[in-house]
């Protein structure tokens, strides 16, 4: 278990550089047919995942990063990540793969140059993302983690996925549990809730963490031994847990979701697809005991309702914009 907070900006840049070199190798491995295969992400083909990885940089990350560095860490207008991303993916649906790869590298090189050129003080500046108030470093880590799992999407689509590399996955999982998870906490749904939960995660990026909710606040710390007994214990492989939390489902589930994503209107199609794939992913993981929950089940259910979920991203964004 690696303490993400101990890594410096230089450490994170080194890890990201290594990962992106590996990602280039993954891109080179995919044949024209492989780029057309369905993936586990939102019913998208591999080429759509690449289009999403590419377009997310200018329409999401670059926009909020530039505002943060200009001392304006507030939500930009029309920051609906699901709808914006889907619109950009659709616009690139017939773009040649070579052109998508060229665009991906141009956007990535520009963003990485900004992170390399900033000071350590700028790395810690306030920023905004759909989870609310964050730091500039959080924008870097969200994109890094997203792309790690998108590489998984691409390779799993044609049976070539192995496992996460612990060198960068371990600190990213530590960040996901300790910083990202509390950022999705909903104080408005925690009235009177006092509970503790232990995350006991296995695999190359595993470890133990302790989540505590009390008095309308949420905190997650690394478990450092001790004899405390939690109210709830969650056990899983770290990779399986993050995949379920990020709505990775079997490709056929995504294809099915896309046949009914119109039911709430065109503006909510991505929410519908995410809700179906997210619910299916979590249900499958629980049914197959890839995720195991023990302890006070009623309290576990209340805890679950006290957090925003991946498929609620549009509502979460609107709520956080309303908070200013």
Q: Give per-residue pLDDT as tens, 87-133.
A: 899 999 999 999 999 999 999 999 999 999 999 999 999 999 989 89
Q: How would you classify the pairing of strands 195-202 and 232-237?
A: parallel
Distance CA 245, CA 250 (A): 14
**Bridge partners, residue 293, by sequence:** 234
Q: What does the H/E/C string look like for 9-73?
A: HHHHHHHHHHHHHHHHHHHHHCCCCHHHCECCECCCEHHHHHHHHHHHHHHHHHHHHHHHHCCCC
Distance CA 270, CA 55 (A): 16
Residue 71 confidence (pLDDT) = 96
CB 275 within 8 A of CB 264: no
Which tokens belong to 294? Answer: 């023990």
CB 146 within 8 A of CB 53: yes
Residue 69 confidence (pLDDT) = 97
CB 320 within 8 A of CB 130: yes
Residue 144 confidence (pLDDT) = 98
Task: Assign domain 4-174 one CATH number from 1.20.1250.20, 1.10.3720.10, 3.90.1010.10, 1.20.120.450.
Answer: 1.20.120.450
Please state the pTM of the whole predicted model: 0.94
Write out pLDDT tens, residues 11-37.
999 999 999 999 999 999 999 999 999
- Using CB atoms within 10 Å of the CB of residue 177, give its burial: 0 to 12 exposed, 13 to 18 middle, 19+ buried: buried
Domain ranges of the chain: 4-174, 181-310
Q: What does each of the 324 residues of the chain score in pLDDT, given as a tens digit? A: 689 999 999 999 999 999 999 999 999 999 999 999 999 999 999 999 999 999 999 988 999 999 999 999 988 877 776 788 888 999 999 999 999 999 999 999 999 999 999 999 999 999 999 898 999 999 999 999 999 999 999 999 989 999 999 999 999 999 999 999 999 999 999 999 999 999 999 998 899 999 999 999 999 999 866 667 999 999 999 999 999 999 999 999 999 999 999 898 877 888 899 999 999 999 999 999 999 999 999 999 999 999 999 989 888 988 888 876
Show Cβ contacts of residue 236 under 8 Å, excluding neighbours closer than 6 positions.
Answer: 201, 202, 244, 285, 290, 291, 292
Query: CATH number of the domain at 181-310, please?
Result: 3.30.1050.10
């Amino acid at each position: 278990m690696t303490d993400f907070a101990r890594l410096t900006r230089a450490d994170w840049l080194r890890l990201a550089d290594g990962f992106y070199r590996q990602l280039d190798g993954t891109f080179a491995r995919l044949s024209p047919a492989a780029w057309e295969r369905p993936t586990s992400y939102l019913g998208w083909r591999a080429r759509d995942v690449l289009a999403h990885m590419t377009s997310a940089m200018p329409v999401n990350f670059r926009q909020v990063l530039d505002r943060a560095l200009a001392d304006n860490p507030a939500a930009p207008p029309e920051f609906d990540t699901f709808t914006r991303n889907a619109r950009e993916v659709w616009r690139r649906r017939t773009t040649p793969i070579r052109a998508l790869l060229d665009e991906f590298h141009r956007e990535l090189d520009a963003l990485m140059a900004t992170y390399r050129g900033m000071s350590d003080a700028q790395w810690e500046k306030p920023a905004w993302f759909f989870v609310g108030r964050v730091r500039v470093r959080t924008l870097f880590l969200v994109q890094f983690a997203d792309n790690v799992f998108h590489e998984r999407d691409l390779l799993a689509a044609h049976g070539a996925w192995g496992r996460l590399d612990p060198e960068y996955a371990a600190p990213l999982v530590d960040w996901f549990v300790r910083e990202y998870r509390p950022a999705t906490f909903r104080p408005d749904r925690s009235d009177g809730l006092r509970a503790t939960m232990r995350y006991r995660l296995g695999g190359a990026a595993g470890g133990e963490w302790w989540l505590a909710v009390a008095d309308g606040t949420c905190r997650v710390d690394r478990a450092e031994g001790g004899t405390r007994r939690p109210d709830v214990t969650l056990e899983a492989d770290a990779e399986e847990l993050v995949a379920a939390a990020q709505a990775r489902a079997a490709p056929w589930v995504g294809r099915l979701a896309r046949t009914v994503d119109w039911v709430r209107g065109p503006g909510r199609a991505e929410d519908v697809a995410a809700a179906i794939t997210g619910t299916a992913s979590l249900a499958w993981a629980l049914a197959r005991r890839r995720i195991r929950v023990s302890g006070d089940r009623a309290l576990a259910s209340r805890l679950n309702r006290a957090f925003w979920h991946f498929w609620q991203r549009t509502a979460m964004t609107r709520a956080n914009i309303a908070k200013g």
